[in-house]
Structure 1
């Protein structure tokens, strides 16, 4: 086994002869960066000082029996301090101290060396510990790089969905708001809201079949196709496409180059702000809810149509409804109803309906915020199993 001779080592022993013998053995193995400590207290100070300086020890060879602070106490202190908890320790023990060594291994020591020191055993055990540390450090570097990349990917993904919505005005007497919370660093939910034509808003919400990076890429592909297809049609004809036509285009494109067979449930429609007319398709998505003052919250039930991307040639039906002045529509993904509490109980549709009843007179930003806040309270710290997305629109 090749040994890392650039390692930074610390030898801890109250016996000067033992320290000298071990240091000479280490130098013969090629190690030149070797510090020494005469007891546990001095060793702990050196370990902490080096860690804070950004140059932690690669291994500590620690005697079991020492004055002031013995090896067991040093290990307990190292384990309790997150700054140095990952420091590799090899115990140095006499034959009569085996039981104490076992206790040290339980506390996190990597290995042990018996006295007197055997050169071959020293080389083998130190080499193994240093190699394990090198691999751990490499894994930590790769993990940090991956976490940074995923954090950037999360920001890029969230920047793909709007955080500013068309403001209400005489041409747009409607208010829209949406929120999205990926269950992982990045997720497969999407939403959108944009002017598809003068006085016409396109609103959409979707949920990709997978999670993580593959779902995020498919989500980005879906959202880009949706917006481009709707706007190109409007630019060419002066009017947005029928939702069924838009769904057909998306389905055909999503079926291409899709070897994993991913698909997306999608609820997409065009809202005429002046009349309140909403024409939409529901491609296998969660039913939206209608909120009207003084009336029970109702699910908008339509014939179920298949998700997009399953196979070419799918046909989706157009559906129409009219929102009266003051009414609202709330769209969400199944991550809302599937949120679980610490006991595994799901949030469920019945809770959604109860909370939307309480919020039926609220503005869209209040609806989305209050509903997701209640989800967090219900989950009580339980990690979400699915992405959560909510979009609300109210006609003024």
Structure 2
């Protein structure tokens, strides 16, 4: 205070002088700012005119490159699909020839000479010129003797197919009795192999038509392959199935070799987007008896997948754009009419724009150089204006001093009376009769003293009213807190679980709540809610909702029924359309069964006994209150001993720091994961401390409520 008085002018004359100088200084500063803005605007306009044409040309170039690339990409993909169609059509035609030959052999067994049939243990002199046969364990040779003799005549046809079509790896023939004949001969057939369980055999047997299988591991070559199979019929009865195997390695080497400027990747996918072939796909495996899980084609953004599925199902070639492997990419697609599969080719967008990047960088460099030159000229002009400013300021100072001396004399007469009023005597009045503005100023002082006296009286009354309101809010806070269970541990004699909860309102009273209570000796009900407002209205609505939820729960209802009944009551006469999100759960303390129902609340967290923590999604349901006759769904999960179940409101994950960044779901998940062996109380306090540190002094914008229970299992 003393320092401020030292800096303040001691007489009115000096103050008026300062006022005049300040006015002149402000005018000069405004003039300088307008001049600077005008020069800067002129420089920016010239820069925009210089760069605008180049930017427009770059834009046109990018558009042309993008259009040409998409056309070339789509054409290449369609050509690749046509190539695949041709390859697979050759396989299907070869299969039709084999099926036709087999049907003639079965119809007239003596039409073609029979050949010797070689088993696994009976190696022929030339394995590439003969087939091998095998039957499942438990099937006697006599049961397939006729089929074995009849099917031996197929060897000549199979060797002809293998020689004419290099993408076919081997030919298979199987009968419903379990006979399996494979050309060429190989001893590498597992003794547990049963052809009747293979997908290519069962598909043809069930459908009765030609078709392609999903990828599977061959029992001999032990690599991923697809099979084109068709039934052999005699008198409209299926007597055998013939299948031609095409290894995925062959498809990758002979078909998926597509590139544009050494960029991009081609895929062959099935109807459900399973990747059948792509560069680098591992096609080796020893699990011939297991169904292959496979890899599926997908954009990074799952929202784009329904459109891709729709486009693929349409059977029409096209092109899409999306994030693939964290790269913005063009993806062209074209169908294969023979199999219903599709060829995809993905090309990063950056690869399209790469040719014009040097030009773009050169334009940026030239823009920076031009900008530097413009601002250099602006700096020189501002220096000249500063010199003129100082000269004008000196002249204004001399004139202002003389004017101040003429107008300060009457004002000094106000000093005495103003000092009395300033010392607190608001009843004192100034008696000045100058007949000019100074007299008006004195009258203004008198009115100010009267207004201040009246204001102080009104302020005293207002302060008393505010203190009464604060006292009532404090009482409301205490009442609200008393409605929530606050004694922990709440059930010290129950060793099946450990439980803790916390609620911190953003205002004196809040709209969040929690509750827990036993329904019988075994079942405990857990409830958490968040009203759609804050302050007193939310607190009143919270009390009603909490009371109704507990009342309905004690009627021995399941969580869905509790929510439905409570919603029906809250929706009556709800003219303000307030609502509350609620998560209700009932835990069987003997078995660990947890029945849950969700009314628009956030998904809970579950921490396994080993510390692994995940979010557990439930059917979201609709919030309670706005509309009656809403149905909810009860879902069950089993808590194992040692697992923790955490409920919370959005005041936790939506807490913000001074930079308006949210605490977020990931930080919450990481915090719980970092405390694998902690009690519910320790975990909740750890989350609260981390949220408080993250907020870094930012005011709490919403109520913070958490409820955690760790199931310990039934104690012996």
Q: TM-score, normalised by structure 1?
A: 0.69
Match of 1:326 in 2: 642
**How far did residue 267 of structure 1 move?**
0.3
Match of 1:352 in 2: 668
**How far did residue 140 of structure 1 move?**
1.5
Match of 1:148 in 2: 471
**Partner of residue 335 from structure 1, selected from 633, 651, 655:** 651
**SS of the counterpart of 1:156?**
helix
Alignment of 1:27-66 (within 5 A): none
Distance 2:634 2:453 in 1: 66
Instruction: Kindly indicate whether the alpha-carbon contact (under 8 Å) linking 2:427 and 2:450 is maintained by their aligned counterparts in 1.
Output: no
Instruction: Kindly indicate whether the alpha-carbon contact (under 8 Å) linking 2:611 and 2:677 is maintained by their aligned counterparts in 1.
Output: no
**Partner of residue 392 from structure 1, selected from 708, 712, 715:** 708
**Partner of residue 166 from structure 1, selected from 490, 502, 505:** 490
Match of 2:695 in 1: 379
Distance 1:145 1:278 in 2: 47
**Partner of residue 544 from structure 2, selected from 221, 224, 231:** 221
**Partner of residue 126 from structure 1, selected from 442, 449, 458:** 449
Distance 2:512 2:544 in 1: 12
Change (3 A) 1:94 1:286: farther
Instruction: Kindly indicate whether the alpha-carbon contact (under 8 Å) linking 1:263 and 1:308 is maintained by their aligned counterparts in 2.
Output: yes
**Partner of residue 290 from structure 1, selected from 583, 606, 610:** 606
**How far did residue 101 of structure 1 move?**
11
**How far did residue 124 of structure 1 move?**
3.4
Match of 1:309 in 2: 625
Change (3 A) 1:254 1:116: same
Give CA deviations for 1:268-300 in whole Å, capped at 9, x if unaligned.
111111111110101000110000133531111
Instruction: Kindly indicate whether the alpha-carbon contact (under 8 Å) linking 1:338 and 1:347 is maintained by their aligned counterparts in 2.
Output: yes
Give CA deviations for 1:18-68 in whole Å, capped at 9, x if unaligned.
xxxxxxxxxxxxxxxxxxxxxxxxxxxxxxxxxxxxxxxxxxxxxx99xxx
* Range with greater deviation from structure 2 (331-340 or 360-369): 360-369
Match of 1:70 in 2: none
In the alignment, structure 1 residue 203 sits paired with structure 2 residue 532:
no
Which blocks of at least 5 consecutive residues in structure 2 are unaligned?
1-9, 12-408, 434-438
Distance 2:525 2:695 in 1: 32
**Partner of residue 363 from structure 1, selected from 676, 679, 694:** 679
Change (3 A) 1:262 1:110: farther
**SS of the counterpart of 2:450?**
helix
**Partner of residue 593 from structure 2, selected from 266, 269, 277:** 277
Match of 1:85 in 2: none
In the alignment, structure 1 residue 300 sits paired with structure 2 residue 616:
yes
Distance 1:357 1:277 in 2: 23
**SS of the counterpart of 1:336?**
helix
Distance 1:110 1:189 in 2: 50
Bigger-Rg structure (1/2): 2
Change (3 A) 1:295 1:176: closer
Distance 1:100 1:381 in 2: 48
Give CA deviations for 1:110-130 in whole Å, capped at 9, x if unaligned.
999656499976763332111
**How far did residue 97 of structure 1 move?**
7.4
Distance 1:391 1:286 in 2: 13
Which blocks of at least 5 consecutive residues in structure 1 are unaligned?
1-63, 66-92, 234-239
Structure with a larger share of its residues in helix: 2
**SS of the counterpart of 2:543?**
helix
Give the RMSD, CA atoms, in angstroms. 3.3
Distance 1:324 1:100 in 2: 86
Distance 2:560 2:550 in 1: 15
**Partner of residue 583 from structure 2, selected from 251, 261, 267:** 267
The structure, 1 or 2, with the larger RCO (C-alpha pairs under 8 Å, 6+ apart) is: 1
Give CA deviations for 1:170-193 in whole Å, capped at 9, x if unaligned.
x55111100000001111000001
**SS of the counterpart of 2:525?**
strand
**SS of the counterpart of 1:185?**
coil
Distance 2:505 2:413 in 1: 53
**How far did residue 131 of structure 1 move?**
1.5
**How far did residue 198 of structure 1 move?**
1.2
Matched positions, count: 297
Change (3 A) 1:115 1:210: same
Distance 2:680 2:429 in 1: 67
In the alignment, structure 1 residue 188 sits paired with structure 2 residue 511:
yes
* Range with greater deviation from structure 2 (116-125 or 190-199): 116-125
Give CA deviations for 1:348-384 in whole Å, capped at 9, x if unaligned.
1110011010123211111111111111111122111
Change (3 A) 1:172 1:315: farther
**SS of the counterpart of 2:601?**
coil
**SS of the counterpart of 1:197?**
coil
Match of 2:82 in 1: none
Change (3 A) 1:295 1:363: closer
Distance 2:443 2:695 in 1: 56
Q: TM-score, normalised by structure 2?
A: 0.39
Distance 2:593 2:414 in 1: 82
Distance 2:655 2:519 in 1: 33
Instruction: Kindly indicate whether the alpha-carbon contact (under 8 Å) linking 1:166 and 1:194 is maintained by their aligned counterparts in 2.
Output: no
Distance 1:278 1:177 in 2: 17
Match of 2:535 in 1: 212
**SS of the counterpart of 1:275?**
coil
**How far did residue 133 of structure 1 move?**
1.3
**How far did residue 329 of structure 1 move?**
0.4
Instruction: Kindly indicate whether the alpha-carbon contact (under 8 Å) linking 1:339 and 1:346 is maintained by their aligned counterparts in 2.
Output: yes
Change (3 A) 1:304 1:112: farther
